Amino acid sequence: MKIVITDGYSANPGDLDWNAFESLGEFTVYDLTPADKLIERTRDADAIITNKALFTEEILKQLPKLKYIGVTATGFNVIDLDACKRRGIPVTNVPEYGTFATAQMTVALLLELTNKVGLHNASVKDGGWVRSEQFCYWLEPLTELYGKSIAVVGMGKIGSRVAKIAEALGMKVLPVPHRITDPSEEYTFEEAIPQADVITLHCPLTPETTNLINSSSLSLAKNGVYVINASRGPIVNETDMAEALRRGKVAGFGCDVVSTEPMKEDNPLLTAPNTVITPHIAWAARETRRRLLDVVASNLKGFIDGKDGKDINRVNM
């Protein structure tokens, strides 16, 4: 079997090994594959492992040997699933690998906004504490999270983990699953937002959640609310968020994702105040990426061994 990884650098920039894949067949890995090289590099592949490379109907027509696509992610919107199904090509993903790391990043973004560790560390390193006449000082107000309410929008595995951490900090959790299962214990989005001191987003990107956070929904929120997005960029209307930050409606916005990645220089969040932005690295802990690659390899091995369906995390059954 000829195996091609189209864009392996993001998951493995060199600090992990590819041994599990090398044992499955003739194996080639590219750090990144530009669109104009995709056909050339994958034309003879039996199996393709990809992250962001786009496999459309037109691309698939030119890959007659292709039998399998594995995605090194949970999301698989870069693959035309129907076109693959018509050709008998299973597409697999990794449904859960970054729960702990993403929850950790979510809380890190929130704590950076409320405790301003980076700001004060930079000040100390610049000599601010050495010059201070007082034994302590702070450059901006700090915020205690104990007793405050946090709306967790999307109570899947990541959202549930964030909720547990928030409870450990003494916060009141307002759970908002994107499908209400028990209204007696959970809140609708419209019920939770006006009560929340913090809104954190962990829902999938769907037509219903695109632009979920916009000027209209923010008008329901408290003045000075904090918003965290570690799910998908388009869930937040970035123009509306930047304006809300400038007006002080939103006290701080932390995100690990934006609407277009890599980030564009005209993204309004770049010039908005009170933001903390990281470059989609919630999943990037070495332990997390090792777990990801192990499952991707296991999916492919299962396919080679004749398994299908949920046994290999197939998403186009």
Residue with tokens 């499952």: 295
The answer to whether the CB of 78 falls within 8 A of the CB of 54 is: yes
- Give the single-character DSSP code of 224: T
314 is catalytic: no
- Give the single-character DSSP code of 222: P
Please tell me the distance from the alpha carbon of residue 179 to that of residue 49, in angstroms, as a whole number: 32
> Catalytic one among 120, 161, 202, 232?
232
Please tell me the distance from the alpha carbon of residue 96 to that of residue 315, in angstroms, as a whole number: 13
261 is catalytic: yes
The string of DSSP codes covering 118-178 is HHHHHHHHTTHHHH-SSS---SS-----TT-EEEEE--SHHHHHHHHHHHHTTPEEEEE-S
> Catalytic one among 120, 202, 280, 291?
280
Hey, what are 83's tokens? Answer: 């076109």
> Catalytic one among 22, 190, 261, 287?
261
Amino acid at 254: G
280 is catalytic: yes
Please tell me the distance from the alpha carbon of residue 155 to that of residue 177, in angstroms, as a whole number: 5
The catalytic residue positions are 232, 261, 280
